[in-house]
Amino acid sequence: MSDNDVLPIGSIGAVPAYRDVPTYRMFFGNLHVWEGDGWKAESMSWKTGAYVAANLTGPAELTYRGRDAQAFLSSLSINNVREWPVGTSKHLVMPDENGLIANHGLAIRDSEDSFRQLASLPWGVHRLGSAGMDVETSVREIFILQVAGPASLQVLERTLGRDLRDLKFLGIRKVEIAGVEAELELSRIGMAGTLAYEVRGPFDAGPVVYDAVYRAGKDIGLKRLGWRTYAVNHTEGGFPQANCTFLPSVLSDEAFMAAYGAGRSTTMSGSVDPTDLRARYRTPAEVNWDWMAKFDHDFLGRAAVEAEKASPRRKTVILRWNAEDILDVFASHFRPGEEYKYIEFPCAPQQIAGGHADLVTKDDEQVGVASAAVYSYYYREMLSQCVIDIDQAHIGNKVVLHWGDHGGRIKEIRATVERFPYLELPSNRDYDLSTVPSGLPAPAR
């Protein structure tokens, strides 16, 4: 890093303290980029170029190791972990006794008896105390860099100096960066809804790795994605996320909160009563994850998950807001009297907003609950994820979203049920890598 480009403190959390980054904010116990290169440019980056983000850095890497590690994770997860190949990743979804999602996140199987869980709550550590299994846990502070968008592969090949075309979706590989004395890994996974990767390693190496990636891609338009814009890709790409689009049910577990919830604060905003936590929790079926549930093993909450999979009541869709009604919200700020609640761009309310819940009705009857909304600069639309009754989930259905905070002035916004996910780009799993320019120097002639 050049001394001219960073502040004298050198780094903030896991990123360099760049002089041209306007704002940083505190999340998960660390300072993060709030807005890196402007929210419009950032929100376009995973469609037209690429971004680098350290937004998931903060929660520690948890390792479960021992003879019963696999059985223990199976006892908490709806997923089948018995046929999990070593060296691959899996999205583990962990319900509570009532079938509500208590925890979820990426996990990696390193060996027959060793697993790591990333950017996740210590729900497993909490449950281990009463499990009576031969499992040991350890914690390591790491950085997680997400590099996503159609140019992400080119950026990473430039950074690492090697061909990465053979890394399959969910695959993991040990990598090196010249001048960085740290063990690093690369994974082909991400939340952009299109081609995406993660680079991970020890926390202290985060700033220099971030800078190496940024400098490798800056001249081809790589953007620094901050938390202000981060949840836009989750909504566009169809990725429900604890603390962004819903809350983990651990908030209602008194023992867990007493042990691990110190300092945790959550704002309950939106037109739904703030005391109604259930409206802010989700089940696997409600977020369209019931396909992951395998009933070839016993797990916490299995009866509830199995019953709902057999007869689902709600699912997640995208709501597209009516533009005229949105304009009326803004117009109210230029009229006498009480205005409507302001709509933030690009996320309303600003993230982290898992506690936000807006009432959704049809013919004056409640049919759903909408999460925090995002303004998609790419589509020029206001969108929100909404868990809605199955019989109301068809594309084109007209509903009403109640915008505002419970007890305050409410604006009824017309909304239309749309495709889920909303983003129409090639998925990471199926991305044609031959369309991505090489990041390696042309061979000498």
Edge-to-edge order in the sheet of strand 184-187? 172-175, 184-187, 196-202, 142-148, 51-53, 223-224
Report pLDDT for 192.
92
What gap in Å lies between CA 313 and CA 95, rounded to an integer? 17
Q: What are the tokens at 397?
A: 């259905």
φ/ψ bin of 114: left (φ > 0), alpha (ψ from -120 to 50), beta (otherwise): beta
Summarize the confidence of residues 64-75 as an average pLDDT: 96
Of 34, 39, 18, 42, the closest CA to residue 149 belongs to 42
What gap in Å lies between CA 317 and CA 426, rounded to an integer? 19
Q: Is the pLDDT of residue 210 over 70?
A: yes
What gap in Å lies between CA 291 and CA 299, rounded to an integer? 16
* Beta strands in 206-253, from DSSP E residues, in sequence order: 223-224
Q: Is the pLDDT of residue 134 over 90?
A: yes
Q: What are the tokens at 430?
A: 């199926």
Report pLDDT for 4.
58
Report pLDDT for 8.
58
Encode pLDDT of 278-324 as tens digits.
999 999 999 999 999 999 999 999 999 999 999 999 999 999 999 99
Q: Is the pLDDT of residue 431 over 70?
A: yes
Encode pLDDT of 349-397 as tens digits.
998 889 999 999 999 999 999 999 999 999 999 999 999 999 999 999 9
Phi, psi of 130 (to 5 degrees): -105, 10
Alpha helix ranges (H) inside 226-343: 227-237, 254-260, 302-310, 323-331
**18 neighbors 32 (Cβ within 8 angstroms):** no
Distances 417 to 64, 65, 421 between C-alpha atoms, Å = 41, 45, 11
Q: Is the pLDDT of residue 3 over 60?
A: no
Encode pLDDT of 218-247 as tens digits.
999 999 999 999 999 999 999 999 999 999
| Mean confidence (pLDDT) of the chain | 93
Summarize the confidence of residues 154-182 as an average pLDDT: 95
**104 neighbors 191 (Cβ within 8 angstroms):** no
Q: What is the DSSP string of 360-384?
A: EEETTEEEEEEEEEEEETTTTEEEE
Helix, strand, coil % (nearest 5) of the chain?
Answer: 25, 30, 45
Report pLDDT for 41.
97
What gap in Å lies between CA 203 and CA 210, rounded to an integer? 11
Report pLDDT for 385.
98
* Crossing angle for the helix pair 152-160 and 206-217, to the nearest 10 degrees: 120
**295 neighbors 302 (Cβ within 8 angstroms):** yes
What own/partner pairs with CB < 8 Å and gap ≥ 24 does 22-30 have?
A: 23/226, 23/228, 25/227, 27/55, 27/58, 27/227, 27/352, 28/57, 28/58, 28/59, 29/58, 30/57, 30/58
Report pLDDT for 2.
56
Of 289, 285, 292, 279, the closest CA to residue 247 belongs to 279
Query: What is the share, in percent, of the chain residues with pLDDT greater than 70?
Result: 96
φ/ψ bin of 334: left (φ > 0), alpha (ψ from -120 to 50), beta (otherwise): alpha
What gap in Å lies between CA 319 and CA 398, rounded to an integer? 9
Q: Is the pLDDT of residue 194 over 90?
A: yes
Q: Could you say which DSSP state residue 440 is in?
A: S
Q: Is the pLDDT of residue 11 over 80?
A: no
- Sign, CA dihedral 236-233-223-174, equals negative
Per residue in 215-244, is it b (16+ CB within 10 Å) or e — as a string? bbbeeebbbbbbbbbbbbbbbbbbbbbbbb
Q: Is the pLDDT of residue 106 over 70?
A: yes
What gap in Å lies between CA 246 and CA 316, rounded to an integer? 11
What gap in Å lies between CA 21 and CA 331, rounded to an integer? 32
Of 23 and 413, more confident: 413
Tell me the pLDDT band of 5, cut-offs 50, 70 and 90. Answer: confident
Tell me the pLDDT band of 144, cut-offs 50, 70 and 90. Answer: very high
Q: Is the pLDDT of residue 9 over 60?
A: no
Q: Is the pLDDT of residue 73 over 60?
A: yes
Tell me the pLDDT band of 262, cut-offs 50, 70 and 90. Answer: low
Encode pLDDT of 29-63 as tens digits.
777 899 999 999 999 999 999 999 998 887 789 99
